[in-house]
């Protein structure tokens, strides 16, 4: 459901915008619990940093706070209860019809959806995607609206049975992320995550982890997985989950444990954010 | 203005779709003249071929014909006169909220805008973009809705004075296209255009040219331009225009003529399509 927007959502012409036409914008998917968004500051910091990269103006925190208050007071609370997935879309405002960005002004839209049921204790099974994720340093790390590549990479998931997510590599065979989660390796109690300078999204859960742990960004190849003691995936809605196995091809598979004390500790801290 | 759509455009919730959320769709930008779209068949053929690549169902020609008839009968004719830019958006229909494509059904939207004033006789000045276009064979050639990369590449145009468009290279330093046009070189009366197997959009004007001319798709580097007798750019709205010069950097520039008999002939045939 739509909670609020910077434009009159009842005017159809205003929906034919640069978000739809070009994917010229960003989004944040945020977990609301007990009517607050514990990581709102991290989400808005990332959003505003990345808006700057797209030559767009920052969004004022007060605008979003006011919009979220509407959710409390509206039918929203009845619909979604205490918890919700709050999605914030921000896109370049209307301008002359050309790819060239001619304005820094933005429009925004805020929606609420149900929180998906997630069992954070269940370890996941991954498979390596055959298709490769592209390299574009200009957009690397940014959670932007032009996500057709992720959609088409994810289409491979339809070929598999019993696989929860795909591990995406670039053309240099470096691990980047899964279709919708960051990847964190545990090796000798050290946390290692792929370098995101060329591809991928730098998730808010990963940034939250980085604030409290020594997290090393490195090039990681499939063969490096063999030396690791554990593997996790993370995103802002589903938190931190262990990876049980990575299917490399029809014959080969790398297996990890289904429990690890470092995961238990991180996941415990994470869940406490939303259940305190 | 909106002409027609497959969904009720007065319901705001229906605009929060996979086109806006993920750029999970395609578009065609078509030139209407004297209330017909001379290249409608070519546009719909390309659209349907590329819908297949995205695992989406073809659009029925009759649906679009019926929608275009509404334009004749509505206020559209008064607004846009005989000529218009007709834009057709097609995107994946609603499904469970995940990148993974779970449906082949589509929604569509048809809009009309004014035709931009174009002087097809004026040769253009290009500059080579510093940033590189990415390589993704899965999406190469397709005119999809995830165009943020083109937007950000085009942002470089704001740095220049007197430059009409940017020439985009990939990381192998192959010429791919301009920010919104295909590129065609003339060498010894032979037409050569960049290989679009890794990047770029295969435009309808280029496909129209291919139907009547021997057009060779090749890897083309900047140094290859020196051996060429002429250079053209093309797209379905602006037709075929000559390139007068390509600025390589602060000091170097490659110049071409401002007229060439092959361009005059092609451009003449093209304009006749819309003025007969």
Query: Nearest to residue B200, comparing CAs of B185, B179, B222, B186?
Result: B179
**Cβ-nearest to B139 among A22, A148, A180:** A148
User: What are the tens digits of pLDDT across the range B18-33?
Assistant: 999 999 999 999 999 9
Sign of CA dihedral A79, A81, A85, A91: positive
Report CB contact under 8 Å: A98, B154: yes
Beta strands in chain A (DSSP E): 2-5, 25-32, 84-92, 106-113, 124-128, 165-169, 175-178, 182-187, 190-194, 215-218, 230-235, 239-247, 253-255
* Rounded-to-integer distance, Cα A106 and Cα A7, Å: 10
Question: Considering only alpha carbons, which residue of chain B is nearest residue A16?
Answer: B2
B148 near A CB under 8 A: yes
User: What are the tens digits of pLDDT across the range B179-237?
Assistant: 999 999 999 999 999 999 999 999 999 999 999 999 999 999 999 999 999 999 999 99
- CA B190 to chain A, closest CA, distance in angstroms equals 31
Rg (CA), chain B: 19
User: What are the tens digits of pLDDT across the range A201-241?
Assistant: 999 999 999 999 999 999 999 999 999 999 999 999 999 99
Q: Do residues B259 and B121 lie in contact, with contact meaning Cβ atoms separated by under 8 Å? A: no
* pTM, rounded to two decimals: 0.96
Q: Which of B133, B144, B148 to mutate to test the interface with A (most CBs of A within 10 A)?
A: B148
Question: Considering only alpha carbons, which residue of chain A is nearest residue B23?
Answer: A146
- What phi and psi values does residue B159 have, to the nearest 5 degrees? -80, -20
194-253 of B, contacting A, C-beta below 8 A: none
Report CB contact under 8 Å: A99, B150: yes
* Rounded-to-integer distance, Cα B252 and Cα B170, Å: 20
* Rounded-to-integer distance, Cα B203 and Cα B200, Å: 9
pLDDT of A81 over the 90 cut? no
B97 near A CB under 8 A: yes
- ipTM for the complex shown: 0.95
Of chain A, the end-to-end C-alpha distance in Å amounts to: 26
- CA A12 to chain B, closest CA, distance in angstroms equals 6
What are the tokens at A211? 């604030």
pLDDT of B73 over the 70 cut? no
**Cβ-nearest to B152 among A12, A116, A138:** A138
Q: Do residues B151 and A101 lie in contact, with contact meaning Cβ atoms separated by under 8 Å? A: yes
B164 near A CB under 8 A: no
113-142 of A, contacting B, C-beta below 8 A: 113, 116, 131, 134-136, 138-139
Beta bridge partners of A197: none
The pLDDT of residue A92: 98
**Cβ-nearest to A144 among B1, B148, B150:** B148
* Rounded-to-integer distance, Cα B100 and Cα B21, Å: 13
The pLDDT of residue B249: 93
Confidence of residue B121 (pLDDT cuts 50, 70, 90): confident
B79 near A CB under 8 A: no
User: What are the tens digits of pLDDT across the range A102-124?
Assistant: 999 999 999 999 988 888 789 99
The pLDDT of residue B118: 82
């Amino acid at each position: 459901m739509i909670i609020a927007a910077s434009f009159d959502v009842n005017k159809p012409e205003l929906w034919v915008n640069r978000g739809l036409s070009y994917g010229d914008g960003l989004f944040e998917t945020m977990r609301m619990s007990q009517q607050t968004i514990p990581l709102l500051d991290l989400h808005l910091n990332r959003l505003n940093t990345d808006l700057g990269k797209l030559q767009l103006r920052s969004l004022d925190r007060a605008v979003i706070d006011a919009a979220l208050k509407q959710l409390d007071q509206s039918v929203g609370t009845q619909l979604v209860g205490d918890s919700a997935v709050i999605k914030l879309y921000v896109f370049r405002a209307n301008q002359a019809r050309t790819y060239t960005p001619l304005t820094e002004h933005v429009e925004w839209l805020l929606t609420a959806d149900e929180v998906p049921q997630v069992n954070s204790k269940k370890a996941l099974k991954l498979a390596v995607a055959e298709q490769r994720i592209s390299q574009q340093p200009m957009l690397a790390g940014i959670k932007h609206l032009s996500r057709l590549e992720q959609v088409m990479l994810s289409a491979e998931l339809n070929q598999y049975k019993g696989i929860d997510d795909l591990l995406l590599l670039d053309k240099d065979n470096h691990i980047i992320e899964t279709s919708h989660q960051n990847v964190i390796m545990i090796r000798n109690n050290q946390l290692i995550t792929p370098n995101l300078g060329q591809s991928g999204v730098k998730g808010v859960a990963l940034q939250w982890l980085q604030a409290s742990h020594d997290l090393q960004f490195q090039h990681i190849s499939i063969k490096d997985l063999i030396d690791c003691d554990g593997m996790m995936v993370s995103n802002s809605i589903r938190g931190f989950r262990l990876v049980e196995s990575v299917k490399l091809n029809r014959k080969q598979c790398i297996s990890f444990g289904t429990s690890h004390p470092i995961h238990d500790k991180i996941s415990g801290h994470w869940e406490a954010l939303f259940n305190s």
